[in-house]
Amino acid sequence: MNLVRSALLYASQNRWMRVRAPQYGFVRRSVARFMPGEHFDDALNAARELAAQNIRALVTQLGENITSPAEAAQVRDHYLSVLERIGASGLPLEISVKLTQLGLDLGDELCFKNLIALIDRAALNPGAATVWIDMESSAYAERTLALYGRARDTYPNVGVCVQAYLYRTKADIERLIAIAATVRLVKGAYKEAATVAFPRKQDVDENFFALAQRLLSNEARQRGVRTAIATHDRALIARICDDAAQSVIARPELQFQMLYGIQAREQLRLAGEGYDSRVLINYGRHWYAWFMRRLAERPANVWFVLKNLF
């Protein structure tokens, strides 16, 4: 299974495949399971359907590593338009962004300026004000956390993602607890060297559980830390729910985030049992690299792709 995962992560970074794979119908049909469409209207309609089931949503436009200030400005303006439409919709809908979409490769100051514009606008949307910052590969981890810290100094409505497969994340979480951060904990989906990330799934799972315990500890919660547990792993979810119950954490205070189209029954179960169940909805044309990383997270989904092929 590790070989399959490695192959999928390699494919996610292959430029030749990135250009050609989306041209095949069976690939596009497979992607449709994990995103409602390529346009924001598709994501908005999916968010409405989820809201009717007591599940809140987040949206993100797929894409990363833009190469010009003009492209970064286009992404910023797109999200500003999205935030305006969210405000008009009245839905409890948040956005999640990659900093390389906002110009991180072109410089921290350019990226920060674009990010702050989104945080400012999001604050006008009651009940849906948080701007989530995605974590990308480990090469961006320190700069991402530094920019998050700068934003958090002034704005309470910003959150950041951390990845349990990185060795550094244990120390990063202590930094985030100290500033009363809003944190999304994920396992991690990029191809990383064994020198920076746990290579074995079992070790990642155990680290995820330990990090979740720390983020949900009395000390962290008393400081004002808000935590989102982002995993589709039902065994981990059960362990975290049991541990939270022993710590007398009320179910509505325990937030789980999952991806659209994955573990839909589990999303409904959590919402029905009183937990804060949320779904991240992706949309956009630049979905190839993201899709391959999703398959790498759960290689069993490759069977779904093969069924679409035949």
Closest CA to 95 of 44, 50, 169, 145: 44
Return the amino acid letter for 40.
F
Q: Return the residue matching tokens 């202590």.
A: 174
**Chain mean position to CA 214:** 20
Return the amino acid letter for 30.
S
Return the amino acid letter for 235.
A
Closest CA to 209 of 226, 233, 191: 233
Q: Which of 152, 184, 278, 293 is catalytic?
A: 184
Q: Which of 5, 134, 276, 294 is catalytic?
A: 134
Length of the chain: 310
User: Is 87:122 a contact under the CB 8 Å cutoff?
Assistant: no
Detail the DSSP E strand segments found in the chain.
56-61, 93-97, 131-133, 158-163, 182-186, 226-230, 255-259, 276-283
Residue 48 CB-half CA count within 13 A: 9
Whether 134 is catalytic: yes
Query: How many other C-beta atoms lie within 10 A of the C-beta of residue 48?
Result: 13
Rounded Cα distance between 165 and 138, Å, is 10
CA angle 173, 174, 176 (to 5 degrees): 60
* Residues belonging to the active site: 134, 184
